[in-house]
């Protein structure tokens, strides 16, 4: 098993991997949480939550550097929201 710099298992390479169909961009209600389409309104609470971690381990599976300020988080979210492909959600 491959490990990243935080000793998290990242698994083996999957050369034949194919993406799945993304869920619709609408609120999705589960048994234990609610998924809301990502919105710029989520910037401040998301930044506060991510800043609780002492390092970037909570950002492992995201393809960018963790934002360090509210303007950076707003910019990151704006880029995600502008992406035409659905699939960016906030867990509530």
**pLDDT surpasses 70 at 80:** yes
Give the confidence band of 85 by pLDDT, cuts at 50, 70, 90.
low
- Name the strand (E) or helix (H) holding 47: helix 43-50
Q: What is the pLDDT of residues 12-40, one digit of tens each?
A: 888 999 988 877 888 999 999 999 999 99
**pLDDT surpasses 70 at 52:** yes
Domain ranges across the chain: 66-92
Percent pLDDT > 90 in the chain is 48
3-class secondary structure, 3: strand
How big is the chain, counted in residues? Answer: 92
């Amino acid at each position: 098993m491959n490990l990243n710099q935080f000793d998290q298992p990242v698994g083996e390479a999957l050369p034949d991997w194919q993406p799945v169909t993304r869920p619709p961009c609408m609120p999705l209600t589960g048994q234990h949480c609610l998924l809301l389409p990502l919105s710029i309104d989520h910037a401040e609470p998301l930044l506060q939550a991510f800043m609780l971690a002492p390092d970037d381990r909570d950002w492992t599976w995201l393809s960018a550097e963790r934002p360090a300020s509210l303007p950076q988080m707003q910019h990151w979210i704006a880029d995600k929201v502008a992406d035409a492909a659905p699939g960016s959600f906030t867990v509530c």
